[in-house]
Every structure is written in C-alpha cells, then in structure tokens.
Structure 1
Amino acid sequence: MSRFTLRIWQVMLGGALAVLLLGQISPVNAIYAINIDVMVFLFGMFVVGEALSRSGYLDMLARRLFRHARTPGELVILVLFCFGILSALLMNDTLAIIGTPLVLGLAARSRLPAKMLLLALAFAITTGSVASPIGNPQNLLVAVNSGMTAPFVTFASSLLLPTVISLAATWLVLFFFYRKELGVPLAGETGPATAPDPALTRIVQCSLAILVGLALANIIASLFTGAIVIPLPLIGVAAALPVLVFSSRRVAVLRSIDWCTLVFFAAMFVLMAAVWETGFFQSVAGTAGVTSVPAILATSVVISQFISNVPFVALFSPLILQAGGGTARLMALAAGSTIAGNLTILGAASNVIIIQQAESRGETLTFFEFAKIGVPLTLLQVGIYAVCLGVL
C-alpha cells in the first residue's frame, strides 16, 4: 500500500475549509480576511523567481557568488551572511522565493545535504530581516504604528549588532548538528552550468533592476520622511511586468509558478481570522505584560506560532504604545515576532515558501527536522537579543 502524505498547503486548506463548514467564520468575512496586498506581491515575486530559474541567470549568479568557498563551512557562512544582509533590504519573502532554487542547485553541484542549505537559507533570511524596518511586514508595522521618525537608524542602532551575532550563532548551531558534513573538503561542482537563455536573461535582469531600484527608493524615502512610499503590491507587479509583457515564455512561467503556496496563504488568512475572532489570543497577549522586555520577547515568539507574527504585532504594538512605548520594548517586539520564524516552520511565511518551493523540486523539510535545530537556535537568539537590549 502506498504511503499518503499531506503537504503543508493541503493541511492549511483543510483547516480553512473546516472553519468555514463549522460556521466559525462567514464566507464574506473569509473573503475579506485574505490579504490581497500580500497575495499580489507574492504572485509577482513568484513570476520573477520562476523566470530567474528558467533563464539560467540564477545558476550563473550562484556560481559567481559562492565560487570562493573552499570548505562546506565557508559555503554555509556565505549563505548565512549574504542572504541575511539581502533580506534586510529586499524583504525575507522575496529572498525565500529567489533563494530556494539557488541553494538547491548549490547543494546538488557541491554534493552537500539539501536540508542543511535549506535550513541555512531559512534561518538567514529570518534572522537578517530583524535589523531593518523593511526586512519583513511585522517590522514595517512596528515602524509605522509607532511613528518612528528615522526607522532605519532606530532599527540599526538597536538590532544590527545582535543580528550579526545571531547570524554567527546560527552557523555554530548548524555546525553542531552538521559537523560531520561540514568537516569534509568541499566537493568540486558536478555537471555543466545551465545554458542561459539570452533573451529571458535580459528580461529578468530588468526585473531585478526594478526590484532593487524600488527597494532603494523606499529606503531613501524612509530615511527622509519616515514612511514607505511604494507599496509592496506595486513592487511585485512592477518587477513581474517585464516577464509577463516581453517574454515569449510567459505562459510556461505562469504555469510553473508555485500556485500551491498562494493557496496556502489564502487559506492561512482565513484560518487565522477564524482564530482571531475567538478572542483567545487577544486575552493572552493582553495579560502577558508589556512592561518587561523579556516578557515581550517570550510572548512574541510563542504566540506568533499560532496566529502568525503580523496579526500578533498588529494586536500587541498598540498595547506597548499605551504602556508608554519605549525603543527597547518596540525593538523587542520586532525581534521576538521575527525570530519566532526560527522556532517552527509555521513561525514565518518565508519558511512555508521555502518548503513549498523545495517540495516542487523534490526536496522537503519536516516539522521535526526544522524544530530540532530551530528550537535551540531560537532560545539562543532570544538570549542574544535580550542581552543586547540591556535586560539581563
């Protein structure tokens, strides 16, 4: 008898259908619960990511970026810090879409465990995004709700140092669990480089230029105005347009993008809205205490596993502001709700994107495989951020 395995998007879709059938949320409220901005942004990034992979340009970038690594340990360090830095500028979900096929190709060519590099990617883009107000949606929400006048300066001055230390700690944790694999010489690359498609390469280079340009425009605008002037959906659509308009392979790209992940997110929004309407987690968050930075860190990590970090921050940030605010508390909220993604797969949307992308390419990470390394890593990182925020 063949083994039947449910994928994560199927589980989430089943949960959303269950709350609809049980009447825990009305069909109208379910439709309104789906965040169209997120869906449009992800769709645009999936188009760019698929075109990058098909063009062969992504393979070329990976070879150039990681060719200087002489050992598996150096390769993991490069993955951690390159993607960690980029996630602070391009948003972690974007890097999850682009980075998954890149590290899978890297693992195949270097004959390294794909799971190890997938974990390195997931932890890198989650941890690296802590240090920037545009690294992830919950950080942006903290910056906007608190009315920070210089969000990039505030985040960097409070969170850059612990984030760099946390990336280094991530390497140590991965080395502990994969010391056998990291203790051998790096195998030479196997197989020829993917033959690039010149026409599609030029188009995806244009898409990347638009993506980076709009991200830089947001950074500059936030430095002078404190606001993000270009919304995420517009960035996603603008980056995808060159592929959709000018590429002769647009139909193949559209057929191959990760539609299952889009289904997952739509279902997740419905399920989280149903949970939200119970009022249970609001009461838990309200009684957890907003005066203590350790309590904020711990509460953020735990509750973000159940209602996702963005709705948690939407609930918790007004409580902190009502209690007097304070940079340390707000930064603890941003850090805790973000590194919650390192605890379990469901702690961050970027984790789900990575696993869905990996499954479509024949690889995966189970909940236990992720948590086995993610739990000790998260506990270590909570301690790092607590110390650097001056609470211990």
Structure 2
Amino acid sequence: MFSIIPIQIIVLFAVFILVSIRQIGNLRLQIWQLMLFGSLVVLITGQISPNDALTSINFDVILFLFGVFVISKALEESGILQYFSSKIFHKAKSTDMLILLVLFVAGGASAILMNDTLAIIGTPIMLMLASQYKISPKLLLLALAFAITIGSVASPIGNPQNLLIALNMHEPFIPFIKFLLIPTIINLFVAYLLLKIFYKNEFMKLSRNLQEISESKTKPDFKLSLITKISFVLFVSLLFLKILLTVLNINILNFDLRLSYIAIISAVPLILFSSRRSEIIRNIDWHTLIFFVAMFVLMQSVWDTNFFQNLIEEGNLDISSIPVLLTISVVLSQFIQMFHLLLYIFRF
C-alpha cells in the first residue's frame, strides 16, 4: 500500500509507543518531553518548515489555556480553593454524601476551570479527605477522575477536546448545554453507582467522627484572594455575557468575544496588579502548554503526508457518517489522544 512509510508517521508512532512505556532504562519520560522530542525531530529533519510549524499552532487554544492556568493557579495559591473545598466537603456526614459531593462539585468546577486543572488541584484534596474519612484513597481519586472527565463534557471549555470543537463553532455554549447537560448529570449518578458497587465495603463504613475532623484552618492570602476573586468573577461574567449575546442574537460591532480573549482578559488583573504575579506565572502548568504547542507541530507534519487520508480513502470510509465517526473515535481514541484525533477529523 505504501512503499515507504513517511518519517513523520514513524516519529508519531514512536512517540505513542514511548508514551505508553514512559521509561527507557532508568530514564523516566514525561509526555510533554516525548511530544516535544517528536516535534523537534520533524522540524530538524525538514519534514515541516519553521513557518508551517508556527502557523500550525492554534494560539486560541494556547492563550485560553494560559489564561485559565493563571486563574487556577491563583485560586490555589491564594488558598481560596482549599478554603471552599473544606467548607463544602466538611458537610458530608457519610461516604455516600462525600462521593456525591466530589462527583458533582468537581464535575461542575471542571466545566469552568477545565478538567486538567481540576485533576492537579483536586488530587491533594482527595488524599486529605481520604485520610480524614479513613476510606480508600483509590475511591476518592477514582471519584475525582470520573467527576472531571464526565463533568467537563457538558461545557465547551471543560476539556481541550471540547475547546477545539468550540473554537470551530460559531456559538458553542447553547448546543453543548442543550445536548450534553442531562447526559452528563445521568452519567455522574451512574459513576456514583459503579463506585458504590466496586467499593461497597468503603460505603459500609460508619459515618465519620465529627469530633475528629475539623474544617481546614488554612487562611487565604487576602491580598491575592481579592485580585483572584476579581479575575474569577470577570471570567465567569464574560462567559455568561457570551452565552447571553448568543441567546439574544446580539452582535456588538461585529466583535467576536472569543474564548481566548475571555481567558486572557480575566487573567490581566492578576498579571498586572498581583505582587505574586511572577510566582503564579512561573508555577502554572507550562508542561501542558509545551505539550500542546509541540503536538500541533507534529500533527501538522503528519497531516501533510496524507498517510491517514489515503487510508480512509482506500477504506471507502465516509468520515461524515455518524456511525463511522463514532466507531473511528471510540477505537482510535484508545490509542491516540482524542485531541489528536479531533485535529484530523476537523480537516476532512
């Protein structure tokens, strides 16, 4: 079928294999390092030009992630997240109530702050709760994983895949909420039932001893928390404004209030007025940003080979058919990150 496999395809599969292994000898590899390595290989070997590499990067995605990461890091560093999570989860008097709170609070939060962010922030909170409630950390970590994976589905900004779809839609919020909110809520309850079945012994434990557990004594950094609250309220308000303009079909001066603009504008108060701006920016998840930049470059070089396009054409697959699209997505997403797959689907 193909006499010579393009270098880009070899690099792509090498990256995927290394991602699944994550280790060469005693060397432990991170996903972002592998993706960066792959993009550098295709760039250095001339499989993609520097100009094409630059234009392949979707800066709307990168800017949105940067803005959200800044706000999320500020929420974490200011102590706001820890304070409110303690207030919320302290109300749980049983394992059932705790798991439901984790599923719906984390699920709802991931629809706004993006699931990658919630995974990083939520993990230490789950470990703390596991210690306090004397239940399995696996149960709470799985609840968090279910929550942020399922909860992020209902929002166009809940995860990178949804964001990529949203950026290719004129007005994404209404369709997402209309078609995905109810299934998301149902699946969160299904996740609760599955956890209850597989961890039934944890649910059979006695309710916590209220005398042994007290709310978090963590005090927020009030100066940082004030600016963070301004940024967060601005972020939510601009999102609400975008939804409202969509519902009312209002177009102000033909200005497109893009999601990337919303994230960056909302992060501006923290970047300009916080005395801890350097610390916040330095400690955001740069590895994820590097991963996405590198991924755009590598996947563009792969796309330019027409390798997968020819496979689909020779297989007489109708990529616009919903059954075919669902099958390809489900099967290939087991091997290729869904974000990578979407980059291809949108080009057909």
- The question of 1:248 aligning with 2:275 is answered yes
Aligned match of 1:128 = 151
The letter of the residue matching 2:70 is: V
Counterpart for residue 297 of structure 1: 326
Q: Does 1:212 align with 2:236?
A: yes
Q: Which amino acid aligns with 1:201?
A: S
Cα distance in 1 between the residues matched to 2:345 and 2:184: 22
1:77 corresponds in structure 2 to 100
Residue 278 of structure 1: how far off its partner (Å): 2.6
Higher RCO (Cα < 8 Å, 6 or more apart): 2
Output the CA distance in 1 between the equivalents of 2:321 and 2:32.
36
RMSD in angstroms over aligned alpha carbons?
3.4
Unaligned runs of 5+ in 1: 320-392
Asked if 1:173 is matched to 2:194, the reply is yes
Unpaired stretches in structure 2, ≥5 consecutive residues: 1-24
Asked whether 1:49 is paired with 2:75, we answer no
Amino acid at match of 1:231: R
Name the residue aligned to 1:65: 88
Match of 1:336 in 2: none
Residue 105 in structure 1 maps to residue 140 in structure 2: no
| TM-superposition CA deviations, 1:204-234 (whole Å, max 9, x none) | 1111101111111111122223999421222
**Counterpart in 2 of 1:390?**
none
How far the C-alpha of 1:166 sits from its partner, in A, is 1.9
Match of 1:164 among 165, 169, 185: 185
Q: Which TM-score applies when normalising by structure 2?
A: 0.75
Structure 1 segment 131-210 matched on structure 2, within 5 A: 131-133=154-156, 135-136=158-159, 139=162, 154-185=175-206, 189=213, 192-210=216-234
Q: Structure 1 counterpart of 2:234, which letter?
A: I
What is the CA-CA distance between 1:190 and the residue it aligns to?
Answer: 7.2
Q: String of CA shifts for 1:49-97, please: whole Å, max 9, x gaps.
A: 2221111111111012222222334322222222333444x2x62x532
| In structure 1, C-alpha distance between the alignment counterparts of 2:69 and 2:218, rounded to whole Å | 20
> Cα distance, 1:169 vs. partner?
2.2
Q: Find 2:290's aligned residue among 263, 283, 288.
A: 263
Give the Cα–Cα distance (whole angstroms) in 2 for the partners of residues 22 and 186 of structure 1. Answer: 61
CA contact (8 A) 1:24 1:274 kept: yes
Output the CA distance in 1 between the equivalents of 2:29 and 2:168: 38
Task: Please tell me whether residue 8 in structure 1 is matched to residue 31 in structure 2.
Answer: yes
> C-alpha separation between the residues in 1 aligned to 2:75 and 2:38?
33
Q: Distance in 2 between matches of 1:308 and 1:192?
A: 37
Aligned residues: 313
TM (norm. structure 1) is 0.67
CA 1:15–1:189 in 2, change beyond 3 Å: closer, same or farther? farther
Matched, 1:223 2:244: no
1:130–1:159 Cα contact (<8 Å) kept: yes
Kindly indicate whether the alpha-carbon contact (under 8 Å) linking 2:110 and 2:152 is maintained by their aligned counterparts in 1: yes
Of 251, 256, 263, the match for 1:236: 263
Structure with greater helix share of residues: 1
Identity of aligned pairs, percent?
Answer: 42
Select the residue among 44, 52, 70 that pairs with 1:21: 44
- Deviation, 1:199, is 0.9
